[in-house]
Structure 1
Amino acid sequence: MSEDPTVETLLARLEQLANARRPWESHWRDISRYVAPGLEHQAILSAIEAGGASRPYGSYNAPNIYDHTSLMAIDRLAAGEISLVMPASATWHTLRSSEPFASAASDAELRWFDELTRYMFRMRYNPSSGFALAGKAAVKGRAAFGTSVIYVEDAPARTLAAPVTYRHIPLLENYLAANFEGVVDTNFRVFTRTARQCVERWGERCSTKVRDCARDPKRQDDAVTILHGVMPKPDDDRHGMDFVSYYVERDERHLLGKGGYRSFPYIVFHWNRENQGPYCEGPVALALAEIKSVNMLSKQEYIATQQWVNPPTAQRDDATNPPNLNPGAPNPGLLSETGELLIRPIVTQQRPDFARAIIEAKHNQLRESLYVNLWQILIQNPQMTATEASIRAQEKGDLLGPSGLSLQEGLARMIDREFTLLEGRGVFRPGRPLAAPGGLQGHEIGVTFTGPLDKLRRAGEIVGMQRVLELAGAMAKFGKPQVLERFDLDEMLDIAQDIHGAPRSMFKPLEDVGQAEAASQQVDQIKTLTELAVNGGNAAKAVGEGSAAFSDMLAMAQNAGVQP
């Protein structure tokens, strides 16, 4: 078995990751200053930017912001992505077997997938899980910085109502690395806690200095810098965990403990990765120069407006009194003997209206760069047909698709992590409430996204079905009604249910539908047979030959429970 890395080895790896990340940091600070001043870790940014002084980050950057368009646009972009990809008011994914050549799922398996999906959404949106806040911060951070991180961890002290916790980790706390395939599998997270909090978490495993601080009322809130390093386990490690974890007091160079994870607990979301590195740029990166220029122009507009409304004045050197420009104020000595004013406003070429026109043009460019125009609600006028509405929905889905797909890539990894944690709790074992049907035992479970954006992308299928039905209806009216017999209505209903994301439980089980249909057909056949028998018996009775046939048919109908 391999030896554990020393604290010095872990800190050396942290230094390597910090050097690799350093070119990104000034870029992130610029973005945070103009787009998301409250999103990043205030203490870290204040320490870096203000020489260690801690103060509210919003007040620190307030002098830099003269135009709030970028602040509102990034909020609108994040809200639009959440509403179309992962809305809290709907189930935005379903579950299926990920076996590529598995047979079609049975009705019982589909119902189990639906039940599991509903449970996962109840678990995820439980107020104590923290997913809603962490998800919103991660989506906004991804749009602003191009990269964001959520920590997904087991909550062993909680019941199955909320067995998983979610926390957004500020980007500057993370030092990431990716494997050969470009998948992020290493994170050295650096964060701070008070001495009292460290002792609450690790107890006697803390260093002597930290324990002494925690016992001292005057020093118990002193900050302690913690390193949490998570990386793939060494090849010769046989502990069974896929990732190893180390907690270290960085300044004291003291190892707090070692653990492991069955799956990578840090879920990394990217905007648009064009390389295999762990970080990428977001839409703000391309618009940052425009954002800075808009703020600069807005500052000049304020100055021009002040000069236009309250211009400086020019007066003679021998004026006895400074002018009083308040309304109704007397100004003796500022009028010549001929009645000419001895003071004049200095009005140059200030044009606040011209500056506003330029700023509005730049605002439109910013809205285009940050997708604000694309995230507007789809407006349907009263004259629009259902087919036209479906076509517009499909076009919107095509335009917004790339952004949503990259977000769903991170969500898929998060769902895999959730499955790992639930499996560790044994919720899928036989006899448990969420035990999988026999046909799914040992199968990998995959996710299919069904949010509003996915419905928009699949709107073309609904459009195609509508057009084919319209054509078939027209052909039937022109003397070829047999074309309608080619439609499989059950299959069409299943396709529509899948596209619209409706629950499978809205349908009766297939076997119940088959039995009911067979029973209905049998009853109809018996009723028809009975009517024929009665009519035949009456005719036979008229000639004295049908009483035996009538008695046999009547007995058959009564045995089937049909009253003639």
Structure 2
Amino acid sequence: MTGRTPQELVLHWNKLKGERSEFERTWQEIADYVRPLRAEFTSIRQPGEKRHQRIFDATPLMAADSFAGGIYGMMTNPANRWFALRLADDEMNDYDPVRDWLYDVETKLLHSFGPQVSRFYSVLPSMYADLACFGTAVFYSEEIPGQGRINDNVRPLSECVIAESAYGEVDTVYRRFALTGKQAIEMFAGGLSERTARTAEKDPFSLIHFIHCVYPNGEYKADKLEPTARPFVSTYIEEESRHKVAEGGYYELPYHVPRWAQAAGEVYGRGIGEQILPDVKMLNRMDETAIKAAQKVADPPLAAADEGVVKAARTYPGGITYGALDANGTQLLRPLMTGGNIGITLEMMEQRRNAIKEGFYFSLMQMIGSPNMTATEWMGRQEEKLRLLGPNLGRIQSEFLSPLITRRFGLLSRANQLPPAPEEIQGSTMTIEYVSPLARAQMAGEAQAVQRLYQSLGMIAQVDPSVLDNVDHDEAVQILGRGWAVPAKIMRGADKVKEMRAEREQMQAMQQGLQLGAQGADVAKKIAGAAKSGAEAGDVAAKTGQQLVSGGDITQAIEMLRGALRGKTAA
């Protein structure tokens, strides 16, 4: 709904913030042990402050980073075309002008994610790490006015609260953030309150807190052009003064909020970080204990019979301790052995490390980087884990990538940076198909089945070639092309294939006609030579020529010549 006052918006922020207090306690604990760069849910950290005080083992941190890097490389690798555009009408996808237009639009969209236009690829691993650890991540995408660039950024979950529509989709995001006075003047110009403007001018590096509220516009009308009439309302307010500094709207929600997994009745997601938290805390305790045990072995406590027997012990290298031996040379000062078994502790620690790594699919992500393994081999070895990942990857696509690409299409389209669409597809529905290595590995099942079928048919066809008639080879090629993510640019449409085949058949017919014509001329020459007189030869050749010129059947003309030749031979 439009018309919400700044006071109402601040109340909404406080309500949504309070409702997730239990989540924040869990997230703070996860951040302390697994994602210390985001450890500001229930505590405030100063810039430059140490964030690893509670961490004795870095395995969870490295496993989370490995997971984020693996998903980044297999879902949104900048070196590959990781998505393709298609129309809902499959027949139109085979129409060459449509195929070319879709490919060109894909290229423009992919370019908009590149470093020339945005920071998308540089901030994306952080989003995947937030998603895996906390179960919820917030990504923001907005054009930078007048610069021809797009601001892609990952917003800390501690700054943002969310709400869902009746259909379970995130449609409301409130974000509390701070700007320096200098930044506030640059961003909001004359929109600041008088008091805040004076403070910003006087101290350009003082922090000012704002709340950005984005929510559905209940009064949206497509025929209105003003920013406040768009599908989503955007309002910036000063938190302290409740002053509205800017108001506008968005055609698409600029915040994209994927959830790793959701419990019934909950808005926020739950991630891998929560699942492995017991193992992480146990590993830290075991590490702390193992360190103490190792110190006791390396530098054990000393035992003496009586406090006054031994003078000050000098345990440093080369030190001499007087009184440590009795008159018989017996050692009066001995190491105190506790009998602890460090080996068992180390073995249990390794078990916990492996559990944490596999919680983040460590072996799966390590195989992704193998240079000698194809996507098919990788999928075959990790098929079970891929099945477990399937629902989560589907959420990434539906809650993050699809809205992101849709918004990017809208931004470029409104900026007139996309080629005009062919008239044939006006009003058509466009879909997004993911062709990244990970998506391709999941879709490769059909392609592998086709490949195995042809391998088997190859052996059978040696006995009976007619078995190949059972297969629609054209459709098989299309399935292989989709399964291996072959660029649409090199795949010909059905109409083009039919045209090429018709031309080929016509050329073959012409060549066959020329060959038959040459045979007819040779036979005519022989008949002419066998005739008793030039008149007879001429008569036969003339009839044959007339048959050919009048458009008659070449085969019939040749038979006429052969019949004449047999008659002459019999005579």
Q: TM-score, normalised by structure 2?
A: 0.86
Q: Does 1:11 align with 2:10?
A: yes
Shift of the 156–443 alpha-carbon distance from structure 1 to 2, 3 Å rule, reads farther
What does 1:93-104 correspond to in 2, within 5 Å? 93-98=83-88
- How far, CA to CA, are the matches of 1:7 and 1:390 in structure 2? 52
1:346 to 330, 333, 336: 336
Residue 68 of structure 1: CA displacement?
Answer: 1.1
Alignment partner, residue 263 of structure 1:
252
What is the DSSP-based 3-state SS (H/G/I as helix, E as strand, rest coil) of the residue aligned with 2:347?
Answer: helix
Q: Does 1:472 align with 2:462?
A: no
- How far, CA to CA, are the matches of 1:202 and 1:308 in structure 2? 63
2:168 to 178, 182, 187: 182
Alignment partner, residue 67 of structure 1:
57
The letter of the residue matching 2:459 is A
Q: Does 1:446 align with 2:431?
A: yes
- How far, CA to CA, are the matches of 1:387 and 1:332 in structure 2? 73
What does 1:16-415 correspond to in 2, within 5 Å? 16-39=15-38, 44=40, 48-49=42-43, 54-57=46-49, 59=50, 61-98=51-88, 105-159=94-148, 162=149, 164-216=150-202, 219-235=203-219, 240-315=229-304, 316-319=306-309, 321-377=311-367, 391-392=380-381, 394-395=383-384, 397-409=386-398, 410-415=400-405
What is the DSSP-based 3-state SS (H/G/I as helix, E as strand, rest coil) of the residue aligned with 1:323?
Answer: coil
- How far, CA to CA, are the matches of 1:387 and 1:208 in structure 2? 63
State whether residues 188 and 229 of structure 1, in contact with CA within 8 Å, keep that contact through their aligned partners in structure 2. Answer: yes
State whether residues 245 and 261 of structure 1, in contact with CA within 8 Å, keep that contact through their aligned partners in structure 2. Answer: yes
Shift of the 358–385 alpha-carbon distance from structure 1 to 2, 3 Å rule, reads closer
Query: 236-245 vs 325-334, which deviates more?
Result: 236-245
- How far, CA to CA, are the matches of 1:183 and 1:390 in structure 2? 31
State whether residues 335 and 342 of structure 1, in contact with CA within 8 Å, keep that contact through their aligned partners in structure 2. Answer: yes
- How far, CA to CA, are the matches of 2:471 and 2:235 in structure 1? 61
- How far, CA to CA, are the matches of 1:119 and 1:385 in structure 2? 28
Shift of the 108–55 alpha-carbon distance from structure 1 to 2, 3 Å rule, reads closer
Residue 174 of structure 1: CA displacement?
Answer: 0.2
Residue 334 of structure 1: CA displacement?
Answer: 2.0
Residue 351 of structure 1: CA displacement?
Answer: 2.2
State whether residues 397 and 454 of structure 1, in contact with CA within 8 Å, keep that contact through their aligned partners in structure 2. Answer: no
The letter of the residue matching 1:346 is L
Residue 264 of structure 1: CA displacement?
Answer: 0.9
Residue 368 of structure 1: CA displacement?
Answer: 2.6
2:478 to 494, 505, 510: 494
The Cα offsets for residues 484-514 of structure 1, whole Å up to 9 and x where unpaired, read as 1333322222211111111122235655554
Alignment partner, residue 561 of structure 2:
none
Alignment partner, residue 561 of structure 1:
none
Number of matched residues? Answer: 533
The letter of the residue matching 2:18 is N
Residue 93 of structure 1: CA displacement?
Answer: 1.1
The letter of the residue matching 2:159 is E
State whether residues 186 and 231 of structure 1, in contact with CA within 8 Å, keep that contact through their aligned partners in structure 2. Answer: yes
What is the DSSP-based 3-state SS (H/G/I as helix, E as strand, rest coil) of the residue aligned with 2:318?
Answer: coil
The letter of the residue matching 1:144 is C
Q: Which runs of 5 or more structure 2 residues have no equivalent in the other structure?
A: 529-536, 552-571
- Measured on the aligned residues, the alpha-carbon RMSD in Å equals 2.9
The Cα offsets for residues 420-468 of structure 1, whole Å up to 9 and x where unpaired, read as 222322345xxxxx11111211223210111122222222212321332
Shift of the 224–404 alpha-carbon distance from structure 1 to 2, 3 Å rule, reads same
State whether residues 125 and 132 of structure 1, in contact with CA within 8 Å, keep that contact through their aligned partners in structure 2. Answer: yes
Q: Does 1:503 align with 2:487?
A: yes
Shift of the 305–105 alpha-carbon distance from structure 1 to 2, 3 Å rule, reads same
- How far, CA to CA, are the matches of 2:379 and 2:286 in structure 1? 42
State whether residues 2 and 219 of structure 2, in contact with CA within 8 Å, keep that contact through their aligned partners in structure 1. Answer: no
Query: 71-80 vs 395-404, which deviates more?
Result: 395-404
| Identical positions, percent | 26
Residue 144 of structure 1: CA displacement?
Answer: 0.5
Alignment partner, residue 413 of structure 2:
423
State whether residues 530 and 553 of structure 1, in contact with CA within 8 Å, keep that contact through their aligned partners in structure 2. Answer: no
Shift of the 39–337 alpha-carbon distance from structure 1 to 2, 3 Å rule, reads same
Shift of the 295–475 alpha-carbon distance from structure 1 to 2, 3 Å rule, reads same
Residue 206 of structure 1: CA displacement?
Answer: 0.8
Shift of the 393–348 alpha-carbon distance from structure 1 to 2, 3 Å rule, reads closer
What is the DSSP-based 3-state SS (H/G/I as helix, E as strand, rest coil) of the residue aligned with 1:546?
Answer: helix
Shift of the 393–528 alpha-carbon distance from structure 1 to 2, 3 Å rule, reads farther
Residue 214 of structure 1: CA displacement?
Answer: 2.5
- How far, CA to CA, are the matches of 2:162 and 2:108 in structure 1? 32
Shift of the 80–378 alpha-carbon distance from structure 1 to 2, 3 Å rule, reads closer
Shift of the 294–320 alpha-carbon distance from structure 1 to 2, 3 Å rule, reads closer
Shift of the 356–26 alpha-carbon distance from structure 1 to 2, 3 Å rule, reads same
State whether residues 307 and 350 of structure 1, in contact with CA within 8 Å, keep that contact through their aligned partners in structure 2. Answer: no
The Cα offsets for residues 110-161 of structure 1, whole Å up to 9 and x where unpaired, read as 22212211221111123440101232111110000000011111233234xx
- How far, CA to CA, are the matches of 1:387 and 1:282 in structure 2? 28
The structure having more radius of gyration, on CA atoms, is 2
Q: Which runs of 5 or more structure 1 residues have no equivalent in the other structure?
A: 429-433, 557-564
The letter of the residue matching 2:541 is G
What is the DSSP-based 3-state SS (H/G/I as helix, E as strand, rest coil) of the residue aligned with 2:62?
Answer: helix
Query: 135-144 vs 483-492, which deviates more?
Result: 483-492
Query: 438-447 vs 373-382, which deviates more?
Result: 373-382
Alignment partner, residue 443 of structure 2:
458
Shift of the 372–395 alpha-carbon distance from structure 1 to 2, 3 Å rule, reads same
State whether residues 475 and 481 of structure 1, in contact with CA within 8 Å, keep that contact through their aligned partners in structure 2. Answer: yes
Shift of the 393–547 alpha-carbon distance from structure 1 to 2, 3 Å rule, reads farther
The letter of the residue matching 2:152 is Y
What is the DSSP-based 3-state SS (H/G/I as helix, E as strand, rest coil) of the residue aligned with 1:64?
Answer: coil
What is the DSSP-based 3-state SS (H/G/I as helix, E as strand, rest coil) of the residue aligned with 1:177?
Answer: strand
Shift of the 385–368 alpha-carbon distance from structure 1 to 2, 3 Å rule, reads closer
What is the DSSP-based 3-state SS (H/G/I as helix, E as strand, rest coil) of the residue aligned with 1:158?
Answer: coil
The letter of the residue matching 1:172 is S
What is the DSSP-based 3-state SS (H/G/I as helix, E as strand, rest coil) of the residue aligned with 2:27?
Answer: helix
The letter of the residue matching 1:199 is I
1:546 to 533, 538, 541: 541
State whether residues 396 and 456 of structure 1, in contact with CA within 8 Å, keep that contact through their aligned partners in structure 2. Answer: no
Residue 79 of structure 1: CA displacement?
Answer: 1.6
